[in-house]
Structure 1
Amino acid sequence: MTHTTDPRPLYREALTWTTGLIDNVREDQLTASTPCADFDVRTLLGHLVATVERARVIGEGGDPRSIPIVVADIRDDGYADAYRSAADRMWPVWADDHSLDATVTAPWGTVPGRAAIWGYINETLVHGWDLAVATGQPSETRPELAEAVLGVARQAIPAEPRGGPVPFADVVDPLPTAGPTERLANWSGRKSI
């Protein structure tokens, strides 16, 4: 799927879904834990902003490591605006169809632009799921979106080995009731809710 599909519409949809979740985070939830052991809600929000900034830098031909893993200088009530602003700066970089086949440097290696975007769609949905679970919001995006990303994730992120250069926890067996977004999170090592 990553070789021919234009992932930009799916990335836009993933960002829109996650923006809605960010809009509904209350300030009293910022210190809550999330299914992602590395982040509480506040740092997860800063990480989500960083992922969009990294997608922009990658599309510009830069080094994504020039952007911190967590953008930390955001007011507690400013995460939704920061996320929207990051997306507004990122989209023009990927507007040219040729950018999809250009070779770029992602944190996981040198790949075609479309593969980098697929990686950031995965990150957006998995961390969106983390945020939804942590803040008591509906944790499933549109099923077809999550299924498409899960199909790509299963090809791009090996089930074994995990850890070290493959920065994901072991795959979690999904619950029988798990929807596709939760199954995507399970593939990234998140425990079912």
Structure 2
Amino acid sequence: MSDTQATPSPSGADPRPGFFRAAALAGETIAAVRPDQYGAASPCPDFDAEQLARHLIAVLRRVAVSGGGGHPFSVDSFADVPAGEWTKAWQEATAEAEAVWSDPSILGRTCELGFVTLPGAAAIVVYTTEISLHTWDLARATGQEPAWDDAALAPSVAAMRFAVPAEPRGGPVPFGPVVEVPDDAPLIDRLAGWYGRQP
């Protein structure tokens, strides 16, 4: 997954805390990648573990740019950051995003996502989905088992069928067919399956 589609935010809920919890988990997962795992294949086609880490950093930087009124695709898809500096880059990107998104009025302001324009409340759910899915991809590639935060994942799961319908898939919709998982499966498995991953 390079980018997700539009998604609403649950009524009355502020999705920003969930996003930053998802981002913190992503940072922990990136920090735990060993050098011998950089080339490990992942469930995300054409992204190995190193590319996922660099893409996640880029996505977090895009969150700040988008929230600040800029175009997120002005940030390259892969951060040009040496492996030894991933954690430092993640911390810096987190601080920048937190500063931009600290004003509650951002939830009602328009944010450009590159493929769609949304209110901030919906845009941050899109980014929560992207961060969470790529964290799952990276964890699978490197044998990690993150402590998933259901409260952070819930808005993404609630919106996923609206965000990306089951059909069509492929082509301009960069996801594989839905992988069916039980309704009572963990939220991360339900999210991964809907976006074409095999939990």
Normalising by structure 1, report the TM-score: 0.91
Is the CA contact (8 Å cut-off) linking 1:58 and 1:104 kept in structure 2? yes
Is the CA contact (8 Å cut-off) linking 2:18 and 2:153 kept in structure 1? no
Alignment correspondent of 1:38: 46
Give the secondary-structure state (helix, strand or coil) at the position aligned to 1:74.
coil
Alignment correspondent of 1:135: 142
Q: Which aligned pairs between 1:38-187 and structure 2 lie closer than 5 A?
A: 38-71=46-79, 73-139=80-146, 141-174=148-181, 178-187=185-194
Give the secondary-structure state (helix, strand or coil) at the position aligned to 1:82.
helix
Q: What 5-or-longer segments of structure 2 have no aligned partner?
A: 1-7
User: What CA distance in whole angstroms lies between the structure 2 residues aligned with 1:167 and 1:4?
Assistant: 30
Name the stretch that deviates more: 87-96 or 176-185. 176-185
User: What CA distance in whole angstroms lies between the structure 1 residues aligned with 2:148 and 2:35?
Assistant: 23
Is the CA contact (8 Å cut-off) linking 1:121 and 1:149 kept in structure 2? yes
Higher relative contact order (CA 8 A, sep 6+): 2
User: What CA distance in whole angstroms lies between the structure 1 residues aligned with 2:37 and 2:106?
Assistant: 38
**Could you give the per-residue CA deviations for residues 35-67 of structure 1, whole angstroms, max 9, x where no partner exists?**
101200011001000111111111111111111
Q: CA deviation at 1:140?
A: 5.1
Is the CA contact (8 Å cut-off) linking 1:140 and 1:181 kept in structure 2? no
Is the CA contact (8 Å cut-off) linking 2:22 and 2:149 kept in structure 1? no
**Could you give the per-residue CA deviations for residues 111-169 of structure 1, whole angstroms, max 9, x where no partner exists?**
10111100000011111111111111114502343333211222222221223443322
User: What CA distance in whole angstroms lies between the structure 2 residues aligned with 1:174 and 1:37?
Assistant: 21
Aligned partner letter, 1:110? T
Is the CA contact (8 Å cut-off) linking 2:29 and 2:146 kept in structure 1? no
Aligned partner letter, 1:51? V
Please say if 1:11 is aligned against 2:14.
no
Q: What 5-or-longer segments of structure 1 have no aligned partner?
A: none
Alignment correspondent of 2:34: 26
Aligned partner letter, 2:35? E
Aligned partner letter, 2:132? L
User: What CA distance in whole angstroms lies between the structure 2 residues aligned with 1:30 and 1:156?
Assistant: 31
User: What CA distance in whole angstroms lies between the structure 2 residues aligned with 1:138 and 1:175?
Assistant: 20
**Could you give the per-residue CA deviations for residues 54-90 of structure 1, whole angstroms, max 9, x where no partner exists?**
111111111111111111x211222122112111111
Q: Name the count of aligned residue pairs.
A: 191
